Amino acid sequence: MLRKISRAWRIVGTGISFSVFGILGLLLAATAFPLTRIAVRDRVAREFYNQKLIHWNFRLFVRLMVAVGVLEVTVRNGDEMARPGQLVIANHPSLIDIVLLVSLMPQADCVVKKEAWSNPFMRGAISATGYLPNDAGDKLVDACVERLRAGRSLVLFPEGTRSPKGSIGPFRRGFAHVALESGATLRTVVIRCEPPTLMRGQPWYDVPDRRVQMTVDCGETVDPRKLAEGAPTRGVAARRIAAALRDFYGETLQNLMP
């Protein structure tokens, strides 16, 4: 009985959190983003400003989820993520991974899937922040490199989509090309979500039978050039980097299994 009440409350709590999240997003899109368009003429300054607004918005959202009891969050080494100019890569177990990551990063460029451009909750945010659309193919790699070279931080999910339940999917190699070409610090972040929730295709109200525990483990930096040492071509280099890091994630997640 108590368990049922607890789950019912967490469904309500999740609904409230997501509603507040949506409303805040709309508010920012309706007020702050248009205002900064006028008040902050410099594009980069405006993007930074708006990214910081989203950072605070996401922090608030995470705190709200924690406060209403649907989520517990443990962050290890989170300060490291706030450093500028790094390429942050992470596995992608849940819908709210990016929210957690950005809540730890005052400045973060993100790659957003094309469909999000037609979502009114997202569109305002995307254009105000300079987030990158993922339909640009190899031009996306160039755009990412440019951001990192300008000293900005960037978040990429090497899987390109949400992870399969409890494990890690195949890696695409765009992130490896970005790392190699930019020479930026590559930081591995391992996200764990227990029990798995908000996976691909899972509706928000399908909340698990206990409170979700998420861990964001900010790891060491990796030197991509070392991983690719001796590779004769960039194609081979990217394959080696992707394979090595996928192994790292596979093993790390395996060891974390309860």
Closest contact distance (angstroms) between CB of 138 and other proteins is 4
Spatial separation of the C-alpha atoms in residues 155 and 175, rounded to whole Å: 10
233 binds other proteins (CB under 8 A): yes
Closest contact distance (angstroms) between CB of 80 and other proteins is 29
Q: Starting from the edge strand earliest in sequence, which strands make up the sheet with 71-76, in order? A: 71-76, 212-222, 185-194, 86-90, 154-156, 109-112, 132-133
Residue number, 44 or 236, with CB nearest to other proteins: 236
Contacts with other proteins: how many residues (CB under 8 A)?
14
Which amino acid is it at 104? L
φ and ψ at residue 46, rounded to 5 degrees: -65, -40
Spatial separation of the C-alpha atoms in residues 158 and 96, rounded to whole Å: 16
Cβ burial 73-99 (10 Å sphere, 16+ → b, else e): bebeebebbeeebbbbbbbbbbbbbbb
φ and ψ at residue 95, rounded to 5 degrees: -60, -30
Residue number, 43 or 114, with CB nearest to other proteins: 114
83 binds other proteins (CB under 8 A): no
Q: Measure the CA angle with vertex 223, ends 188 and 88; round to 5°.
A: 30
Which amino acid is it at 106? P
Residue number, 232 or 258, with CB nearest to other proteins: 232
Residue number, 200 or 234, with CB nearest to other proteins: 234
Candidate ranges 32-40, 50-58, 216-224, 227-235; the one touching other proteins (CB under 8 A): 227-235
Please pick, from the candidates 42, 79, 138, 220, the single residue that binds other proteins as defined by CB under 8 A: 138
Closest contact distance (angstroms) between CB of 238 and other proteins is 7
Please pick, from the candidates 59, 211, 234, 246, the single residue that binds other proteins as defined by CB under 8 A: 234
In which residue are the tokens 């569109």 written?
123
Residue number, 137 or 258, with CB nearest to other proteins: 137
Residue 87 CA: distances (Å) to CA of 34, 109, 194:
29, 10, 26
Please pick, from the candidates 141, 155, 191, 193, the single residue that binds other proteins as defined by CB under 8 A: 141
37 binds other proteins (CB under 8 A): no
Footprint of other proteins on 152-181 (CB under 8 A): 172-174, 177
**Where does this chain bind other proteins (CB under 8 A)?**
137-138, 141, 172-174, 177, 232-236, 238-239
